[in-house]
Structure 1
Amino acid sequence: MKIKVFGDAISGLQRIIFVNKKECVEKLEISLDTFENWEKGRSKPSAGNSEYAKNVSIIDVMEVFEAQYNKRLVRGMMDRELLEDFLSCMPLPEATKEYLSEYIMKPGFAQKTIECAYEYHNLLQNKAEFLWKKVIEIYSDNDFGENKRKLKVILGNRTVIVSTDLGITLKKLAEGIVSELSKRDLIENEFEYKKHYSFRIRDKEKKIHVIKANEQTHLSDIEEINYNRIEMVERIGETTVVITANMEVEEVVYPFMERILEDNSSNPEKFRVFKDYFVIGRRSEDSDYVISSRFIGNTHALINLESGRYYITDLNSRNGTYVNGERLKPSEKREIFNNDIIGIVNFKYLFAIPEN
Structure 2
Amino acid sequence: MNKLVTLGWNENFFKTDDPAIIARVITVQRSSYRISDGEMEYLAHISGKFLNKANNPMDFPTVGDWVIVDKLKLEQKAVIHQILPRKSQLVRQAAGSKTEAQLVAANLDTIFIVSSLNDDLNIRRMERYIVAVYESGASPVIVLTKKDEYPEEQLPELISQMESVAIGIPIIVVSSVTGEGIQDLRAYLNPAETVALIGSSGVGKSTLVNVLLEQNVQKTKDIRSDDSRGRHTTTHREMFVLTNGSLLIDTPGMRELQLWDGEEAVDAAFEDVEDFASACFFKDCQHDTEPGCRVREALDSGELSQERFDSYQKLLRELAFEKRKQDQKAQLEEKNKWKQRSKNAKAAYQQRGFK
TM-score by length of 2: 0.23
TM-score by length of 1: 0.23
RCO higher in structure (CA 8 A, sep ≥6)? 2
